[in-house]
Structure 1
Amino acid sequence: MNRRGIPYVWGGTSDSGYDCSGLMLRAYEAAGIELPRTTTEQYAAFSRKISWDQLKPGDLVFFSDLGHVGMISKPGYMVHSPHSGDVVKEEKLSDWRRTAFVGAVRPDPKGVRQWAKVVEERTTPADAIVTATL
């Protein structure tokens, strides 16, 4: 919440400017939880998804085909970095947001560690396969 007023900057992860996922990355980092960088990775990092009716402060909420993320700040509100030309702010969850809602996650260190292992497995080169020739 103390980052409100800082401008949106695409790819931003600092007080010079934040994009939506960069803001979430730094907020959870301050709480000792390491998140992946992008909205898609942040959503995928947790197998347990939270429904609209079960949202609690601290939950990450995803919208518009995972194109945007915010954090529930209090019931019915989220803090986020909306888009170019805007700033980090708290906003009431509108009916429009509900129609664009994809899902939510409740980050925890265990979930992120599991995601990191999946990413590592995906990026580790496969062992060379020995082939025989005739």
Structure 2
Amino acid sequence: MNQDFIKIKDMEGTLLLSHTNGNLSCKVTTKEIILQRPHYTYQILFENIISMVPHTLKDRHILLPTPGNEHEKVSTRFASSYYKIRTGHVRIHNRSGIHEKGETDFIVPLSELFLDYFARYSNLTVVQ
């Protein structure tokens, strides 16, 4: 695990799956998804996810929110499919504390196994 990842002490639910690839990590519990990059951890409860749809990237960078209204471009090398997750609320952990943010979009690479857990534990309706 990357030493610059901020550990979550109040993780909701039971950990089901964890995957780390370089500077990006994704964890799924029975109640939430946790996205991590150096110095930032994003905690998204399933109940706060509004939608999740496939997304095509034009380049190999993704945008992740910062505590203000800004976004930071992060390079990724995941080989899986990308999805746009819209959430009504996200908790952002960084070195200066925990911040709450309202409606936010995340574009993240997710594997089929992650999608299976989402379908099983979230309230989202799966359309195929």
Structure with the bigger RCO (C-alpha within 8 Å, sep 6+) is 1
> In which range does the TM-score fall when normalised by the shorter chain?
under 0.3
Indicate the structure with greater strand content: 2
Larger radius of gyration between Structure 1 and Structure 2: 1
Q: TM-score, normalised by structure 2?
A: 0.26
- Give TM-score, length-normalised by structure 1: 0.25
